[in-house]
Amino acid sequence: MGQLHTRLLANAVDIVNGDLKDLCEVASAYAVTIVCGINECERHNGGGTLYNSVVVIGTNGEVLNRHRKLMPTNPERMVHGFGDASGLRTVDTPVGRIGTLICWENYMPLARYALYAQGVEIYVAPTYDTGEGWISTMRHIALEGRCWVLGSGTSLRGSDIPDDFPSRAQLFPDPQEWINDGDSVVVNPQGRIVAGPLHRETGIVYADIDVSLVAPARRTLDVTGHYARPDIFQLQVRRTPATAVHYIDG
């Protein structure tokens, strides 16, 4: 485990150190918006903790938002630290207002609600989950939030595991085995699948997204607006960055 952790740290992304520079340059050069999951570390702040993070990079090459997974799932707690809500935000881009949650965070109703309340139009869910249950969740979120949902899955085969991975032959003996099925999918605000799922194959899922469909979809259901009861239910989100040490100089 220690060997793998050391390897993950060595390959982790340090945003402050400029490790996203190449990706930011691509976004700027081609005027595209990039949403990308990363293993993140902070070498200037101890450097021993990894975070399961997702970044949104704008068309000008700037990092518009960095969200760290709030709750590492099951054995992930042996690998990743806990994120805070400082990145639980939506950002405006040329393609629409984007919000992101990672993997099983999408099963956290209050986290979803925080994005709905910020008017998310394109809801991006990078994940390792797969199968009918996950795809149904993506459809439910689209219906609940009346937004576009992009479920970005992980297609992984035995042949994708590096040859020098510890105990590779014992853990992944069959290079043709599908370790994870992928199931990337795009769902419209009516809950209909418009692209994918990309099941047990590698590739890119393409879809034309029209964010003008979001507002009319919310005419009948706006869970943080006319379909909410703030006199009964209220959500409080603490977005102040949680740091272990506060330095006072002078």
- Domain segments of the chain: what residues? 1-83, 84-242
**pLDDT recorded at residue 211:** 96
**pLDDT recorded at residue 47:** 74
Dihedral sign, CA of 87, 73, 154, 162? positive
Q: Tens of pLDDT along the chain (250 residues)?
A: 677 888 888 899 999 999 999 999 999 999 999 999 999 998 877 778 899 999 999 999 999 999 999 999 998 888 899 999 999 999 999 999 999 999 999 999 999 999 999 999 999 999 999 999 999 999 999 999 999 999 999 999 999 888 888 888 888 888 899 998 999 999 999 999 999 999 999 999 999 999 999 999 999 999 999 999 999 999 999 998 887 777 888 7
3-state secondary structure of 28: helix
Given a contact cutoff of 8 angstroms between Cβ atoms, the answer to whether 182 and 201 are in contact is yes
**pLDDT recorded at residue 4:** 80
Between strands 178-187 and 50-57, the pairing is: unpaired
**pLDDT recorded at residue 1:** 63
Q: Measure Cα distances from 79 to 5, 103, 105, 129, 246 in Å.
A: 7, 15, 16, 17, 25
Identify the residue whose tokens are 């003996």. 173
Report cis status (omega within 30 of 0) of the bond before 162.
Answer: no
CATH number for the region 84-242 comes to: 3.60.110.10
pTM above 0.85, yes or no: yes
Phi-psi region of 31 (alpha: psi -120 to 50; beta: other; left: phi over 0): left
Given a contact cutoff of 8 angstroms between Cβ atoms, the answer to whether 208 and 158 are in contact is no
Given a contact cutoff of 8 angstroms between Cβ atoms, the answer to whether 195 and 185 are in contact is yes
Please list the alpha-helical segments (H only) found in the chain.
2-11, 21-30, 109-116, 132-145, 168-171, 214-217
